[in-house]
A and B are shown apart, each in its own frame.
Chain A
Amino acid sequence: MPFSLLKYGLRKDYPFEEDADIPSAHKLRDSYDVVIIGGGGHGVATAYYLAKYHGITNVAILEKGYLGGGNTARNTAVIRSNYLTPEGVRFYGASVELFQGLSNEFDFNIMYSRRGQLTLAHTESAVSAFRQRAEINTHYGGKSALIGPDEIRKLVPCLNMNPAHMPVLAGLWHIDGATARHDAVAWGFAKGATQRGVELHQLTEVTGVDVENGKVTGVQTNRGKVRCGCVVQAVAGHSALMAEKAGFRLPITVYPLQAMVTQPVKPFIDPLVSSPALHCYVQQTGRGEIVLGSGSDPYPLYNTRSTLPLKESLLSNAVALFPFMSQLRMLRQWAGITDITSDYSPIMGLSPVQGYYLDAGWGTWGFKSTPICGKTMAELVAGGGTVPDLIKPFSLERFERFAQINEMGATAASH
């Protein structure tokens, strides 16, 4: 052992390189079959499924910052499928199923933890909306039920049942609600993709998209030109700006979303608890920190600055739900840029440019869909532009047909 350690220490090249979980690519070649813009969860997941299930490994992931350093690191890691529309329930349900097997598949622990998610209803109209969601979920094989105050008390004994003078009338109990370590999800996918030959190029910013006769032919980067026959755009909050480089517009408005996390305390709250009326959702991570998320900012902005009014309202509502939390200290606070569509559903599939595929409009619901996005986007690429059934409803042209998938009630402020 000491001898091998000595050998390791005397080597001139970076000693961990060949044993690295995620081998880094040094040279950016001038041509690839597929270029994926964005090395966040969605981008690396697409590369992973392309390499693993379709044998397509001549792929470059171009990331302007570092792996999983954008919204993948800024979300609040909620996994659930209790949506309102049949299209949404099917799609997010498939994602939850994939999440459950990821640690085994990667041979890498993503700290997936099924806790159940409890969404609180404080008004009669919320109760009837939740009843509808529970019915639709159950019909499409999801696990959701409407539960009363007694059961809520049993699930979350420390919850104040009358927060901010808005008594808790009922709850939407979603047994499949879960959380996972968001960075680990990106790392796991990146590990699986790069070990199969996909190249991950960090600090490589796409500055332009080359389009000839309506077909994509390559991208320009800060490290030179790259030719390719197919591009997948997965850039979260910058989707609209990237699409403009390719010459078309997206029906997206960008809002910051703010969140914060407390110091770690011993486990006291098992399920993920959210209150749409109080614009507040709360969960305790495996490390004991309590993650707090709020509703979106009140006006659009391409900026991850934080504001005091939003933090104040988030904290006062969190303390109203869990009064003893007033004793806790905050560790960190941050914001992410979210690209919100008018129907709160994503934009996936074909774009006006041939060979340029979209994975955009992920607003505040991107993390929970990471695996199914990667899987369906890989199918789309491998099929040469044949859109998989699961993502057909989320096409860009639905806006022209006025065929929106309205998920506002199931999405806004109830991650």
Chain B
Amino acid sequence: MKMLCCPLNGPRNVAEFAFGGEVREMPDPQTCSDREWAEYVFYPPNHAGVIAEWWLHVPSGYWFIAERNRSTDEVIRTYDPSEIYTTRVDFAAQEESKA
């Protein structure tokens, strides 16, 4: 059984988790070019090394970040997103819907 260490719930069976894509910075959809947006949407990091990924512990609904080696399947580190995201992320789309 492959284990993944959830920062909130401790080591659990990997079957309890769902992969949620790579951690990357979203460009501002209002100001970025089509090319930049396409790059963000379609070109995730995909090298055969360590990549920071979003993972969800499904039973508790808790999202966290795991640094995982994509050629050996070793998880280097798991941590709470608050380590990276220190400020609130606001989406411009909300303002637009008001207007």
- CB–CB A303/B38 < 8 A: no
Q: Within 8 Å of chain A (Cβ to Cβ): is B98?
A: no
A305 to B44, CA, bound (A): 23
Known contacts: A300-B70, A399-B42, A400-B34. The answer to whether A241 contacts B15 by CB under 8 A is no
Number of A residues, CB within 8 Å of B: 23
Binds B, one of A57-65, A134-142, A251-259, A275-283: A251-259
Instruction: Considering the complex, give the chain A residue whose CB is closest to the CB of B55.
Output: A299
- For A203, the chain B residues whose CB sits under 8 A away are none
- CB–CB B73/A253 < 8 A: no
B42 partner, pick from A301, A305, A309, A342, beta carbons under 8 A: A342
Provide 16 A-B residue pairs closer than 8 Å at the C-beta atoms, listed in order of the A residue: A240-B46, A244-B47, A249-B43, A250-B43, A251-B42, A254-B46, A298-B19, A300-B46, A300-B70, A301-B70, A301-B73, A308-B1, A309-B15, A399-B42, A399-B43, A402-B34
Q: Within 8 Å of chain A (Cβ to Cβ): is B72?
A: yes
Within 8 A of A (CB), among B39-90: 41-44, 46-48, 53, 70-73
- CB–CB A251/B43 < 8 A: yes
Residues of B within 8 A of A (CB): 1-2, 15, 18-19, 34-35, 38, 41-44, 46-48, 53, 70-73
- CB–CB B73/A305 < 8 A: yes
- For A8, the chain B residues whose CB sits under 8 A away are none
Known contacts: A252-B46, A253-B44. The answer to whether A299 contacts B19 by CB under 8 A is yes
Q: Within 8 Å of chain B (Cβ to Cβ): is A302?
A: yes
- For B35, the chain A residues whose CB sits under 8 A away are 400
Q: Within 8 Å of chain B (Cβ to Cβ): is A307?
A: yes
- For B41, the chain A residues whose CB sits under 8 A away are 342
- CB–CB A302/B70 < 8 A: yes
A165 to B35, CA, bound (A): 46
- CB–CB A303/B71 < 8 A: yes
Within 8 A of B (CB), among A249-291: 249-254
A253 to B72, CA, bound (A): 16
**A381 CB, min distance to chain B CBs, angstroms:** 26
**B25 CB, min distance to chain A CBs, angstroms:** 16
- CB–CB A303/B72 < 8 A: yes
A237 to B88, CA, bound (A): 38
